Amino acid sequence: MKEAKTSLGEAFRAAWRRLRGGELTPARAGLSVGVGLAIGVTPLYGFHLPLVLGVCLPLGLDAPVAYLAANISLPFIAPFLSIIEIEIGARLLNGAWLALTRESLAEHGIRPFLREIVMGTAVFSPLSAVVGGALTFVVGSLFHKAPPADSFEACVDRVADRYANGRKFTRGYVASKMSADPVVRAIFDRAKERPFGVVADIGCGRGQLSLLLLEAGASRSVRGFDWDEAKVAEAERAKGSLEAAYFQGDLRSTEVSACDTSLLVDVLHYLTAEEQDALLARAAKVTRSRIFVRDLDPDRGWRSNVTKLQERVTTRLGVNKGARVLLRPIDDLRRVLEQNGFETSVEPCWAGTPFSNVLVTATRRESQEE
């Protein structure tokens, strides 16, 4: 019973961290409040919470703060918001104000003013977001204390800034990906406890995870490769003077450099079972200390079904480049690593998301360490 309570408590805390999305900096507070106000002033009552979650979770914003701001539409305030929106819409559509009162709105409802309220909301919603978000940012900046330079949040900000000169959306995407993806924080914490040394980032994508380790001083150097040439180019631009090298390479055949730590994050399920085993064996052969594998567990019930659908959609759209989505029992992956001299453990790595990601940690047996 005690273990069940502990597990439930950990799941709740993970979900809460997911909802919060990270440290509440002035910028994140301003954006979160802006999103909440933009949604809260609309007459979509009953849908505000799912709309807040639908916007905040993918962007890594603070959902509780946004929902608090969305509650500007409390029952005693909502009629005044509707009057403002109807009046703005009437002015824009008809060139004249309606001099609408709360009593007349209560008598007739909003149905006679649908055109006006749609137009007015289209103007008032973004205006509220800009004004409220800007004020929140200014006030937050007056009281905010910068996190320690080696903290997770500070390192994420510095790494994200490295992508600012790339494609416009990349900086924001990288920042939200690092803040919201549970594996990033999990691996960061492990590296801070026990530095990773020389890192092989296999299937590195844009390289943000391994650059984060370098930025935090938790690894000595990185050599990463990926078969997506565009993402590799972004990683190369972002590395600056950090001790990293990224290059385009086929996961099925590219040689893995000798290293202390290997990272295989969300790459194996794009390969056949034979290719997965071969890649794990190649990594195990040259890795002196630890291998971290984050992949999709097919045996997690509804989570696995959601994950399969999401991966197939993103692969079909070209967001992720891979020939297939092949989910294998996690024990199959562990078996390959254990046959190659490693001890393994597995733990959930979804932290409040609906996906079936798990983190496999493989540590070379002491008798076989060099």
List the domains of the chain with CATH numbers. 24-143 (no CATH), 152-368 (3.40.50.150)
Residue with tokens 């040689």: 255
pLDDT value at residue 367 = 60
Between CA 182 and CA 215, with CA 25 as vertex, the angle to 5 degrees is 55
Question: Which residue intervals of 95-143 are DSSP H helices?
Answer: 102-108, 114-143
Q: What percent of the chain has pLDDT over 90?
A: 65
**pLDDT per residue as tens digits for the range 269-289:** 989 999 999 999 999 999 999
| 3-state secondary structure (DSSP) of residue 4 | helix
**pLDDT per residue as tens digits for the range 188-212:** 999 999 999 999 999 999 999 999 9
Kindly report which listed range (107-111, 161-165, 327-331) carries the lowest average pLDDT score: 107-111
| 3-state secondary structure (DSSP) of residue 3 | helix
Gap between the Cα atoms of 275 and 279, Å rounded: 6
Token pair in block for residue 92: 């824009």
Task: Count CB neighbours of 324 within 10 A.
Answer: 11
Residue with tokens 């559509």: 93
Amino acid present at 1: M
Q: What is the mean pLDDT of residues 342-362?
A: 90
DSSP secondary-structure letter at 95? S
**pLDDT per residue as tens digits for the range 4-54:** 555 566 667 778 888 888 778 898 899 999 999 999 999 999 999 999 999
